[in-house]
Amino acid sequence: MSNFDFDIVWQNLPYLFLVGLRFTLTLTVLAALGGVILGTLLAILRQSGGPVLSGFVAGYVNLVRALPLVLVIFWFYFLVPYVGQWVTGSPRPIQVGGFASALITFIVFEAAYFSEIMRAGIASIPRGQSSAGQALGLTHAQVMRYVVLPQVFRIMLPVLLTQTIVLFQDTSLVYVLSITDFLGAASKIAERDGRLVEMYTFAALVYFVLSFAASRGVQRLRARYAVPR
Amino acid sequence: MSAVIQIENVDKWYNPAVQVLRNVSLTVSRGEVVVVCGPSGSGKSTLIKCVNALEPIQHGRIVVDGEDLGGKGVNLPRLRARVGMVFQHFELFPHMRVLDNLCLAQCKVLGRSRQEAESRALVLLDRVGLTAHAAKFPGQLSGGQQQRVAIARALAMDPVVMLFDEATSALDPEMVSEVLDVMVGLAQSGMTMMVVTHEMGFAGKVANRVVFMDQGEVVEDAPSKQFFEGAGSERARQFLSKILTY
Amino acid sequence: MGYHWNWGIFWEQSPEGTGTYFDMLVQGLETTLVTAALAWLIAFVVGSVVGVLRTLPGRVAPAIATCWIELFRNMPLLVQLFLWYFVVPDLLPGPWGVWLKQLPNAPFITAVLGIGFFMSARVAVQVASGVEALPRGQRAAATALGLTGPQTYRYVLLPMAYRIILPPLTSELLNTIKNTSVALTIGLAELTARARAVQEFSFQVFEAFTAATLAYLVVNLIATLAARWLEDRVRVPGFGKP
């Protein structure tokens, strides 16, 4: 603490923010969007996909939720090239970049958590809503699309956003693949210049400020939405 | 007659704009049964909660069994142990058997041995007619039975006074009388009681005095006979005509 | 796929000279379980205290609890571990910092403390919500019987609150076990780290990860069954059906 060097942070701000934080935020947003879409599909399949399909989805969701994210990141890092080879019929495993690998991992991983949120949301809509939709002649899919899901997204928005804040924090784990996300960028400078205290303190501060502000925002949203249905 | 509860010029507010008690004074003497009634929002439930300091007051003084609740060095837990309280929603402890509900405070507050507490508990369960249910959990009893257990739990502390806060208003109609019977028996045994209730039949039968409150004030405080024969205030007459119409 | 499977790899000696690859994974699993158990102990005790503080009357205690919760909830676990491992020793007065840095099992101690405090914020939120889920009259009834504040929590509020939050507490326990894997970044030789080491030595990546995956699933299953057993045991007759 004797010689905390603010200058090292100041000098490297462009690298930290324009390279590191940009990667982190891009990954967070894309993974959240992908995760919500895939998670919603999984929730629908699980609810109305027939016994085999819904059993398969349930198995997938429970498997993913039982595993540490770090292990899943490693799994996909090694698995994706082989899957790519298989899909494209290429003679050798396909090298995908760190970003693509991380994005696929987070979409597939977070989808399991998002699907549980959506499932709870679908279950919270009174049965009378689907009945009313079907009584009007809508198909099952139309009822989902026009009646149920819009309500679910509205009710579950705060929970989905809270999970996205968790996702934002979790993206720091791409550190294990030596990717230059925000923490990766801080860590690289920390190692290069021997300034671990400054860089990690600063990284912690930035994560804290962003997460705290975002969760306050979600709280405010929750309060605004807390009107009787 | 010595006073068990002395309420003197009590004011209470949550913020200066919302005053729930205004200059309330009221005395309950030993052996007396006082019924407090009034429309909802009149402050009667708040008042009874102030008597064992579950709610703080902003001005005035409450003396219970000779001790000033706001006095220096007053041991509130000890004092509360001498005041039995029965709640609208029973508030039995759901994870404890009936017998344990009756023993907990006897052991932890009064320092009675488990054996002593149990024998006292069984006497009281017998008195409310629930000996057979001693080993059950509250969730396995009907509302009326739960409230009788709650009365027994309060009596187990050998209180000098019993407070009833709308003890029958959360009950299904067919269970009201079994609880009122217990309360009447208690009154006839000479227990000092302060009872917030709408049950005017109970008031007519055993109350010595009826206190009528409205908008945080004591509007009328009269011997019960006099109250029912001709309430002095217009507000009390209106209230009575409303609840006695059916 | 151009991948050469070799499921016999687990029975081959590892180059570390301490046994087979299977032994490596077993040691990793042990480290995971011991770390998680101690971290959970901290999380449960500290989280319960902070959760209770959050439900106390007045302003000061709840404010302290909120600060604690927000502090540990809004930083990634990985960053918190780095703070404990790299930053805290530097902030301590000279000799203490050096002592901390040179502890032979510093990664283990750091992981237990870091994960324990991180999870304590989540446990605290659950405990507070459990107490708040109880009818307000419960506290009043206990107080009216003459129980003191600590007695009210000990005998009346907490026994019910813990029962109510048992399912979410179970998932926090499972999270604690999963989160120990993050400590591989500070050199803790837990299960995922050991699976990674098997992969680096033997190049049998998918066998190693499959074994680790199965181990996590089994641990998960056992913990879930144990929690369900506990739920049944402490279920209050006549009190809802959770």
Q: What is the pLDDT of residue C104?
A: 83
**Do A111 and A38 meet the contact criterion of CB atoms below 8 Å apart?**
yes
Q: Among A124, A145, A123, A147, which Cα is nearest to A135's?
A: A147
Least confident of A123-132, B42-51, C67-76: A123-132
Q: Which two tokens stand for residue A123?
A: 């279950």
CB-based contact C185 A66, cutoff 8 Å: no
CB-based contact B89 C146, cutoff 8 Å: no
For range A109-125, the mean pLDDT: 95
The residue ranges of DSSP E strands in B73-133, in sequence order, are 83-86
Query: To the nearest whole percent, how much of chain C has pLDDT over 70?
Result: 98
Q: For residue A219, is it within any domain? A: no
Q: Which two tokens stand for residue B10?
A: 């009590």
Distance CA A52, CA A60 (A): 12
Residue pointed to by tokens 């279950």: A123
Q: What is the pLDDT of residue B231?
A: 66
Q: What is the pLDDT of residue C242?
A: 37
- Which pLDDT tens digit goes with each residue over A25-37? 999 999 999 999 9
Q: Is C150 on the interface with B (CB under 8 A)?
A: no
pTM, full prediction: 0.90
In angstroms, the separation between the Cα of residue C17 and the nearest Cα of chain A is: 25
Look up the CATH number of the domain holding residue A170.
1.10.3720.10
For range A118-141, the mean pLDDT: 90
pLDDT exceeds cutoff 80 at C34: yes
Domain count, chain A: 1
Q: What are phi and psi of C32, to 5 degrees?
A: -55, -45
Q: State the alpha helices, DSSP H only, in B52-93.
A: 76-81
Distance CA B229, CA B204 (A): 10
Q: Which of A197, A207, A208 sits opposite C87 (nearest CB)?
A: A197
Distance CA B50, CA B24 (A): 11
Q: What is the pLDDT of residue C240?
A: 62
Helix-helix angle C60-73:C21-55, to 10 degrees: 150
Question: Mean pLDDT, chain C, as a whole number?
Answer: 93
Distance CA A35, CA A41 (A): 10
pLDDT exceeds cutoff 80 at C167: yes
Q: What is the pLDDT of residue A107?
A: 97
Distance CA A58, CA A91 (A): 34
In angstroms, the separation between the Cα of residue B233 and the nearest Cα of chain C is: 34
Radius of gyration of the CA atoms of chain B, in A: 18
Q: What are phi and psi of B157, to 5 degrees?
A: -85, 5
Q: What is the pLDDT of residue C92?
A: 81
Our answer on whether A and B touch (3+ beta-carbon pairs < 8 Å) is: no
Neighboring chain A residues of C80 at a CB cutoff of 8 Å: 204
What's the DSSP call for residue B141? S
Q: For residue A229, is it within any domain? A: no
Q: What is the pLDDT of residue B243?
A: 79
- Which pLDDT tens digit goes with each residue over A52-68? 999 999 999 999 999 99
For chain B, which residues make up each domain, given as ranges?
A: 3-82+161-244, 92-158
CB-based contact C1 A200, cutoff 8 Å: no
Q: In what order do the strands lie in the sheet with B193-196?
A: B83-86, B161-165, B193-196, B33-37, B209-214, B217-223
- Which pLDDT tens digit goes with each residue over C191-242? 999 999 999 998 899 999 999 999 999 999 999 999 999 999 999 988 764 3
* ipTM rounded to 2 decimals: 0.92
Neighboring chain B residues of C138 at a CB cutoff of 8 Å: 91, 93
Neighboring chain B residues of C237 at a CB cutoff of 8 Å: 136-137, 139-140
Residue A152 Ramachandran class (φ > 0 left, ψ -120 to 50 alpha, else beta): alpha
**Do A179 and A99 meet the contact criterion of CB atoms below 8 Å apart?**
yes
Question: Mean pLDDT, chain A, as a whole number?
Answer: 91
Q: What is the pLDDT of residue A229?
A: 45
Residue ranges of chain B whose pLDDT lies below 50? none
Assigned CATH class of B3-82+161-244: alpha beta
- Biggest CA–CA distance in chain B, Å, is 54
Distance CA B27, CA B64 (A): 10
CB-based contact A70 C77, cutoff 8 Å: no
Q: For residue A71, is it within any domain? A: yes
Query: To the nearest whole percent, how much of chain A has pLDDT over 90?
Result: 67
Q: For residue A86, is it within any domain? A: yes
Residues paired with residue B83 on neighbouring β-strands, in sequence order: B161
Q: What's the domain range around A40? A: 13-186
User: What is the distance of C-alpha A115 from the center of its chain?
Assistant: 12
Q: For residue A213, is it within any domain? A: no
Q: What are phi and psi of B85, to 5 degrees?
A: -135, 135
For range A164-184, the mean pLDDT: 95
What's the DSSP call for residue C235? P
Q: What is the pLDDT of residue B234?
A: 84
CB-based contact B52 C144, cutoff 8 Å: yes
Q: For residue A202, is it within any domain? A: no
Q: What is the pLDDT of residue A222?
A: 87
Q: What is the pLDDT of residue B246?
A: 58
Is residue B61 exposed (0-12), middle (13-18) or buried (19+ Cβ within 10 Å)? middle
Q: In what order do the strands lie in the sheet with B67-68?
A: B18-29, B3-15, B59-64, B67-68
- Report which secondary-structure segment, H or E, holds B67: strand B67-68
Distance CA C199, CA C214 (A): 16
What's the DSSP call for residue B213? E
pLDDT exceeds cutoff 80 at C129: yes
What's the DSSP call for residue B39? S
Q: What is the pLDDT of residue B237?
A: 86
In chain C, what are the domains?
11-234 (1.10.3720.10)
Pairing status of strand B209-214 against strand B33-37: parallel
Dihedral sign from CA coordinates of C80, C85, C86, C88: positive
CA atoms within 13 A on the CB side of B44: 26
